[in-house]
């Protein structure tokens, strides 16, 4: 038999049978031209309601204008877009749709973002760890991932650029992995920081790779963490499946309106300029950190944070805090026993952090 002639396996073959069969909640029809006497809402706005649509109304589920705007932002079709409350919601929905409690598992590549494992545990799925290769600058071990992806594994998470190492996985390696995983597991590439890298997103490859899903967020480069808006880009059948299980009115009306306004061309241009500033600051901060005694290593990063190894990470953390600055202690992560993750801030914040870390130990805590 010629393998080339075999139909591509559908990613839905990996999904939980009860989710495939689920009849979703039927939310109130969205027909804005008609009077709404079908949803038990109050007919009046309350005072102070400055939204365009009115907070007395349930919002549009998967708002069409927002889905279309995000599809165009990410260069994909609306049918490939699921919009939810941050990427965290996409990760949660994927886990619940694909992993049977007590039976299935996910692969994560530590050190990495914590939510993949947390979502798996909440669902009762096992977590299989395939560590990044610390000896090769935290590179993805694609061969080990593929070897581990047998049997119960349904989802494989790769964070690129990776949090907290700041490293980008090679596009060719990811595409090859997605192809090799077809029929076995869905490759989920979390691109929360891709805008800071200058590298293209894998989103444009989702159409040709049924077992590739890409997670994007407005929380980082777009400066909208408080709005809670993230996007899953996946095969239309996967998006349709997750639309069945997302809570009926997941996005609030203020979020929908705020995000649409923030994605206007002028706002996007301002956002690109802020990203350019952060990238320049990242390089400046990395170089300056490198020169501070007690900083043993600063890893190259393509994200908006730096991973650094310290002779005494807890002392460095305390110095930053004494200067009124929080940095992230990542020492509980495998291979990062002496490391901190530092978000790139404004030039002023970065200068303050550098000054705090550079101050000799005997001046610590001295009155100003
Ligand atoms: C910050 C971050 C996100 C963003 O999560 P949201 O829920 O969209 O705010 C996603 N993935 C990683 C790796 C992150 O660091």
Q: Is the CB of 197 within 6 Å of ligand 1?
A: no
Nearest CA to ligand 1 atom 6: 86
Is the pLDDT confidence value at 161 over 50?
A: yes
Choice among 23-32, 128-137, 278-287, 304-313 with the minimum mean pLDDT: 23-32
Is the pLDDT confidence value at 362 over 80?
A: no
Which ligand 1 atom is the nearest neighbour of the CA of 87? 8
Residue 367 has a pLDDT of 46
- How high is the mean pLDDT of the chain? 95
Q: What is the distance between the alpha carbons of residues 209 and 187, in angstroms, rounded to a whole number?
A: 10
pLDDT-based confidence at 364, cuts 50/70/90? low
Question: CA–CA distance from 279 to each of 201, 309, 353 (Å)?
Answer: 17, 21, 17
Q: Are 363 and 324 in contact (CB under 8 A)?
A: no
Is the pLDDT confidence value at 368 over 70?
A: no
Residue 107 has a pLDDT of 98
82 φ/ψ angles, rounded to the nearest 5 degrees = -115, 125
Which ligand 1 atom is the nearest neighbour of the CA of 218? 8
Q: Is the CB of 80 within 6 Å of ligand 1?
A: no
Q: What percent of the chain has pLDDT over 90?
A: 91
Which ligand 1 atom is the nearest neighbour of the CA of 219? 9
Q: What digits encode the pLDDT tens for the residues 80-118?
A: 999 999 999 999 999 999 999 999 999 999 999 999 999
Q: 98, 120, 97: which is closest to 107 by C-alpha?
A: 120
Contacts made by residues 329-336, CB under 8 angstroms, sequence distance 24+: 330/111, 330/164, 333/110, 333/111, 333/164, 334/110, 334/111, 334/129, 334/131, 335/110, 335/111, 335/131, 335/134, 336/111, 336/164, 336/307
Return the DSSP state at 133.
B
Q: Which CATH number fits domain 267-363: 3.40.640.10, 3.40.190.10, 3.90.1150.10, 3.30.930.10?
A: 3.90.1150.10
Q: Is the CB of 60 within 6 Å of ligand 1?
A: no
Instruction: List for the chain the helix, strand, coil content (%; round to 5).
Output: 40, 15, 45
Nearest CA to ligand 1 atom 14: 192
Residue 64 has a pLDDT of 97
For 50-185, list the strands marked E by DSSP.
Answer: 81-84, 105-108, 126-129, 153-159
Q: How far is the CA of 217 from the centre of ligand 1 (A)?
A: 7
Contacts made by residues 63-66, CB under 8 angstroms, sequence distance 24+: 63/251, 63/256, 65/260, 66/251, 66/256, 66/259, 66/260
Q: What digits encode the pLDDT tens for the residues 38-95?
A: 999 999 999 999 999 999 999 999 999 999 999 999 999 999 999 999 999 999 999 9
Q: Is the CB of 160 within 6 Å of ligand 1?
A: no
Residue 360 has a pLDDT of 67
Question: CA–CA distance from 328 to each of 15, 157, 197, 343 (Å)?
Answer: 36, 22, 21, 8
Six-digit token pair at 98? 């694909």
Reply yes or no on domain 11-263 having CATH 3.40.640.10: yes
Hey, where are the domains in the chain? 11-263, 267-363
Q: What digits encode the pLDDT tens for the residues 235-253?
A: 999 999 999 999 989 999 9
Is the pLDDT confidence value at 304 over 50?
A: yes
Q: Which residues pair with 295 in a beta bridge?
A: 310
The residue length of the chain stands at 368
> Strand, coil or helix: what is 18?
helix
What is the bridge-based pairing of β-strands 81-84 and 230-233?
antiparallel
pTM: 0.95
336 φ/ψ angles, rounded to the nearest 5 degrees = -120, 40
Give the burial class of 308: count Cβ atoms within 10 A of its Cβ; 0-12 exposed, 13-18 middle, 19 or more buried: buried
Six-digit token pair at 310? 């310290």
Which ligand 1 atom is the nearest neighbour of the CA of 112? 13
């Amino acid at each position: 038999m010629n393998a080339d002639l075999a139909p591509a396996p559908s990613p839905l073959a990996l999904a939980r049978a009860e989710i495939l069969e689920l009849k979703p909640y039927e939310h109130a029809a969205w027909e804005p031209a008609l009077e709404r006497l079908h949803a038990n809402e109050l007919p009046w706005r309350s005072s102070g309601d400055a939204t365009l649509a009115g907070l007395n109304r349930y919002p549009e589920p998967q708002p069409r204008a927002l889905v279309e705007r995000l599809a165009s932002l990410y260069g994909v079709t609306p049918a490939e877009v699921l919009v939810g409350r941050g990427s965290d919601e996409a990760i949660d929905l994927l886990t619940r749709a694909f992993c049977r409690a007590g039976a299935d598992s996910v692969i994560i590549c530590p050190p990495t973002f914590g939510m993949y494992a947390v979502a798996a545990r909440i669902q009762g799925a096992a977590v299989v760890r395939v560590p990044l290769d610390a000896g090769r600058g935290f590179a993805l071990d694609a061969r080990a991932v593929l070897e581990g992806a047998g049997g119960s594994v349904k989802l494989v998470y790769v964070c690129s650029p990776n949090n907290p190492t700041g490293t980008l996985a090679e596009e060719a390696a990811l595409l090859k992995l997605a192809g090799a995983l077809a029929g076995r597991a869905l490759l989920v590439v979390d691109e929360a920081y891709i805008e800071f890298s200058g590298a293209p997103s894998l989103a444009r490859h989702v159409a040709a790779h049924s077992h590739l899903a890409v997670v994007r967020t407005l929380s980082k480069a777009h400066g909208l963490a408080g709005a809670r808006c993230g996007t899953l880009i996946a095969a239309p059948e996967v998006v349709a499946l997750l639309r069945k299980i997302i809570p009926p009115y997941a996005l609030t009306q203020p979020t929908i309106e705020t995000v649409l306004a923030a994605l206007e061309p002028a706002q996007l241009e301002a956002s690109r300029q802020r990203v350019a500033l952060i990238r320049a600051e990242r390089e400046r901060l990395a170089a300056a950190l490198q020169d501070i005694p007690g900083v043993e290593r600063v890893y190259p990063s393509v994200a908006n944070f730096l991973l650094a190894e310290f002779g005494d990470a807890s002392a460095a953390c305390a110095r930053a805090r004494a200067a009124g600055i929080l940095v992230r202690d990542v020492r509980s992560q495998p291979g990062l026993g002496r490391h901190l993750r530092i978000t790139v801030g404004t030039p002023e914040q970065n200068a303050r952090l550098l000054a705090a870390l550079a101050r000799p130990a005997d001046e610590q805590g001295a009155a100003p």
